[in-house]
Amino acid sequence: MRDSICIHVDGASLRVESHQTVTSALMRSGISAVRKSPSGEPRGALCAMGSCHECRATVNGVRGVRTCLVNVEEGMTIEREQPVLKTSMGVSVVHETMSFETDVAVIGSGPAGLAAACAAAELGKTVTIIDESPGPGGRIWSHRGSPPVEARPWIERARIAGVQRLQGYSVIDGKPEELKVASVKDGTRHRVLCSSVIIATGARERFLPFPGWTLPGVVGAGALQSLIKGGLPVSGRRLVVAGTGPLLLAVAKLAVSEGAKVVVVEQASFADRSALAIPLLLSPSRWRPARELWNSLRGVEMYTSSWVTAARGQQHVQEVSIRTPQGIKTLKVDGLAVGYGLIPESRVAAGLGCEIDEDGFVRVDEHQQTRVPGVLCAGESTGIAGSESALDEGLVAGIVSAGRNPRSRLLARVRRHRFWGQAIEKAHPLRDEVLQLAGAEDVICRCEDVRAGEIAGCVSRREARLIHRWGMGHCQGRVCEGSSMCAALEGSDSVRPPWTVAPPEARIETSR
């Protein structure tokens, strides 16, 4: 049931449908710029999944709320440029800290987290899932209203097995036996006391900077998917879906089915991608979905060995240039979605002391155990291999956390998934050109407006951070560390609390 409700944006009343995120409600109302960057550029949602922090606003008086993570509510106030109050009058500090005790704390309610929770709970453990999104399902099963059919059995199983959910909470700090969580809506802090932790924080998109990528209306590929699933209408819209990887096709399929006019721009070459033929042949379960995908994309304009070189527009993206083997093409668009594959979200794991490999993945053994006793990890944060893999890894982690031994068939399946994941990765190698699209004047760190030219002479991350403020913003490098300039810097940044920047723990309650 979708009712129409009233929200207030910068003082003006707006009628919107319920059951959607604030970001999508704003975009539907034509507001794609949510904030101003330090140098005054308009900015809007990029990732639509909580990692870029570009969509943040003051919601119901709480500063720094990621609007993509909260749903609209009747009477909600949203302020885009909120000046700070220089007053101590009427400041009431709300401390609602509670403690939750559980045997197993699962961080993330994507396929991996749900499967882990079900397995552990069905083997008799008390389980609590913590997830910052408004509903369960993670990336692939993100939804509006009722969850997709694939997700329902897992959500139902979890409910029957008595799994508790702390939905809308980010894990921001802690140790293996005690996690600190913060509400994405109002910053309220709670503690989760547990005897083991299963990290299932998934992956985020890799963004590569190019001229115009900071324009509102330029979003991630997966972001477009989440926005559409969250209710953003795209019927009749001209959309370019660009970047690399199988996600582009899934997103294009969804956009087409919703009536958009889609152009797909894939940087990998046909030759690279045909390397997938053999792994695909060896994997019969993937034949049908592949064929369906292919059929649904019939008639979609598709370029391979091609990439977006620039986006242009006033306040919003209006035009996109793409480099194709036939030369540069310029397209008029209503939106651009661009993502260059996935990178693991391993901040929580790093914060808990787990070993992270050079590509950012959490190291686990065959039983999904990290080096830290009592801390397991499953799903995309251990390797990008799709939702089936995430489910199976989750089952393994859940079974192991309950003190049991997973069957060897399950373990063999996990190994096969990994093989598939590697094949996908190999079929989409990033070409040098897409790594070097940003010119000296282009922003590479969106949060702090650091331009490529500024860090051109830098050798170390420390220098880029301390001198040029690269990676010093709200997202703490989640977006900008994916760029090649940053990858070339020496050294790494250590993870420290807060692992995710959360709204403040207190709010000003003006007494009337």
Partner 1 sequence: MAIPHFLVVGAGIVGAACARELAREGNRVTVIDSGPGAGLQGGTAAGMGHVVVNEGDPDTLKLCLRGRELWRSDAPPMSERDSYWETGTLWIAEDEETLLQLEGAQKKLESVGVVSERIDGRQLIKLEPALAPDLAGGLRVPHDGVIYAPTAAREFLNASPKVTCHFGVSVKNIGDGMVELTDGRIFEGEAVIVATGISVLTILGEAGARLAEKVSLYPREGHLAITARGTRILDHHIVEAGYQKAAHSTSNHSISNHSTSHHSTSHAGSKSGSVACAILPRQTDQLCLGSSRRPGEPGPVDPNMMMRVIDRCERFVPSVKTLPILRTWTGARAATSDGKPLLGPVPGLQRTWIAAGFEGLGITQAPAAAELIRQRIMGESCTLDPWPWDPARPYKNNSALTKRESDHA
Ligand X SMILES: Cc1cc2nc3c(=O)[nH]c(=O)nc-3n(C[C@H](O)[C@H](O)[C@H](O)COP(=O)(O)OP(=O)(O)OC[C@H]3O[C@@H](n4cnc5c(N)ncnc54)[C@H](O)[C@@H]3O)c2cc1C
Q: Are 134 and 168 in contact (CB under 8 A)?
A: yes
Q: Which does 346 bind (CB under 5 to 8 A by kind): ligand X, ligand FES, partner 1, none?
A: none
Characterize 70-107 residue by residue with b for buried, 16 or more Cβ atoms within 10 angstroms of its Cβ, and e for exposed.
bbbeeebebbbebeeeeeeeeeeeeeeeeebebbbbbb
Q: Which of 446, 461, 465, 468 binds ligand FES (CB under 6 A)?
A: 446
Question: Which residue lies nearer to ligand FES by CB, 364 or 485?
Answer: 485
Question: Which residue lies nearer to partner 1 by CB, 275 or 472?
Answer: 472
Q: Which secondary-structure segment (H or E) carries 225?
A: helix 221-229
Cβ 433 to ligand X, closest distance in Å?
Answer: 24
Pair of tokens at residue 157 = 């199983």
User: Looking up tokens 């882990």, which residue turns up?
Assistant: 116
Q: Which of 447, 485, 489, 501 binds ligand FES (CB under 6 A)?
A: 447
> In this structure, how many other beta carbons lie within 10 angstroms of the beta carbon of residue 292?
11
CA separation (Å) from 102 to 193, 419, 475?
6, 35, 30
Q: Which does 496 bind (CB under 5 to 8 A by kind): ligand X, partner 1, ligand FES, none?
A: partner 1
End-to-end CA distance of the chain: 36
User: Looking up tokens 């590697």, which residue turns up?
Assistant: 422
Quick check: 487 binds partner 1 (CB under 8 A)?
Answer: no
List binders of ligand FES among 462-491 (CB under 6 A).
Answer: 471, 473, 475-477, 479-480
List binders of ligand X among 45-64 (CB under 6 A).
Answer: 49-50
In whole angstroms, what is the distance from residue 154 CA to residue 270 CA?
Answer: 37
Quick check: 143 binds partner 1 (CB under 8 A)?
Answer: no
List binders of partner 1 among 450-479 (CB under 8 A).
Answer: 459-460, 462-463, 466-467, 469, 472-474, 476
In whole angstroms, what is the distance from residue 478 CA to residue 487 CA?
Answer: 12
Q: Are 362 and 370 in contact (CB under 8 A)?
A: yes
Q: Which does 201 bind (CB under 5 to 8 A by kind): ligand X, partner 1, ligand FES, none?
A: ligand X
Cβ 254 to ligand X, closest distance in Å?
Answer: 8
- Supply the DSSP symbol for 310: E
Pair of tokens at residue 23 = 């970001």
Strands 12-17 and 4-9: antiparallel
Quick check: 334 binds partner 1 (CB under 8 A)?
Answer: no
Quick check: 398 binds ligand X (CB under 6 A)?
Answer: no
Q: Which does 479 bind (CB under 5 to 8 A by kind): ligand FES, partner 1, ligand X, none?
A: ligand FES
Cβ 306 to ligand FES, closest distance in Å?
Answer: 26
Q: Which of 29, 60, 77, 82 binds partner 1 (CB under 8 A)?
A: 82
Cβ 218 to ligand X, closest distance in Å?
Answer: 15
List binders of partner 1 among 13-72 (CB under 8 A).
Answer: 38, 63-64
Concatenate the DSSP letters of all residues of 434-468 into one string. HHT---TTSEEETTTTEEGGGGTT--BHHHHHHTT
Quick check: 488 binds partner 1 (CB under 8 A)?
Answer: no
**Which string of x and - marks every residue 153-192 that binds partner 1 (by CB under 8 A)?**
--------------------xx-----x------------
* R_g over Cα of the chain: 22
Q: Are 470 and 448 in contact (CB under 8 A)?
A: yes
Quick check: 65 binds ligand X (CB under 6 A)?
Answer: no
Question: Which residue lies nearer to ligand X by CB, 57 or 250?
Answer: 250
Q: 59 has which bridge partners?
A: 62, 78
Question: Which residue lies nearer to partner 1 by CB, 14 or 45?
Answer: 45
In whole angstroms, what is the distance from residue 48 CA to residue 139 CA?
Answer: 10
> In this structure, how many other beta carbons lie within 10 angstroms of the beta carbon of residue 189?
18
Quick check: 390 binds ligand X (CB under 6 A)?
Answer: yes
Stretch that binds ligand X, among 77-85, 149-157, 202-210, 313-321 (CB under 6 A): 202-210
Q: Are 317 and 338 in contact (CB under 8 A)?
A: no
In whole angstroms, what is the distance from residue 429 CA to residue 409 CA?
Answer: 31
Quick check: 282 binds partner 1 (CB under 8 A)?
Answer: no
In whole angstroms, what is the distance from residue 395 CA to residue 398 CA?
Answer: 5
Interaction site with partner 1 (CB under 8 A): 38, 63-64, 82-89, 91, 93, 173-174, 180, 459-460, 462-463, 466-467, 469, 472-474, 476, 490-491, 494, 496-498, 501-508
Interaction site with ligand X (CB under 6 A): 49-50, 107-113, 130-133, 138-140, 170-171, 200-205, 222, 225, 247, 250, 342, 345, 348, 379-380, 386-387, 390, 499-500
